[in-house]
């Protein structure tokens, strides 16, 4: 039960990202889907920097999800629980970590990449990885996740990631 609650916490960050108007402003304003005369051209041209409104919330929220996914992967791997449930939880966490890195890399290109549980004080010293390295990790996480995810869930677990999503 605690392991499932832990992976549920990794899902929670999705709400923080996708419910944010800043996220949708960043994603849509450079396309023909949306336009705003009140937004500077840097956002509309996908030239994001630390001074652009909203970029910080995506960065912080995505890394919150990555930190939590790494924690789940690290700790649940050692848990003495049913192997099938363990594999599913680890697969969900890897899928979500891949999704958070996908959002970050689509917006910022190469970003700091870490896949282990680490001391929070060490995070600020991690340099950016190349876009290719980040995308390779995304593919690895999704490949690993696909192996342990079910095709579907009972109605009590609707909304969890599935093999098809991976």
Report the Cα 23 to chain-centroid distance in Å: 13
Nearest to 122 by CA among 75, 70, 73, 77: 70
Q: How many CA atoms lie within 13 A of 84 on its CB side?
A: 1
Residues 94, 119: Cα–Cα separation, whole Å:
20
Q: What is the pTM of this model?
A: 0.88
pLDDT tens for 111-153 read: 999 998 877 777 778 889 999 999 999 999 999 999 999 999 9
Contact assessment for residue 141 and residue 97, using Cβ atoms and an 8 Å cutoff: yes
């Amino acid at each position: 039960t605690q392991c499932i609650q832990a992976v549920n916490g990794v899902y929670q960050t999705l709400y923080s990202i996708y419910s944010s108007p800043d996220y949708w402003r960043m994603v849509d304003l450079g396309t023909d889907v949306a336009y705003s005369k009140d937004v500077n051209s840097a956002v509309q041209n996908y030239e994001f920097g630390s001074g652009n409104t909203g970029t910080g919330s995506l960065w912080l929220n995505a890394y919150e999800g990555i930190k939590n996914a790494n924690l789940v992967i690290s700790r649940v791997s050692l848990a003495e629980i049913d192997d099938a449930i363990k594999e599913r939880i680890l697969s969900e966490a890897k899928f979500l970590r891949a999704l958070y890195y996908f959002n970050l890399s689509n917006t910022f290109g190469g970003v700091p990449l870490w896949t282990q549980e680490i001391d929070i004080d060490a995070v600020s010293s991690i340099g950016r990885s190349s876009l290719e390295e980040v995308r390779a990790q995304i593919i690895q996480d999704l490949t690993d996740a696909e192996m342990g995810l079910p095709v579907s869930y009972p109605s009590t677990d609707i909304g969890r990631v599935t093999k098809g999503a991976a």
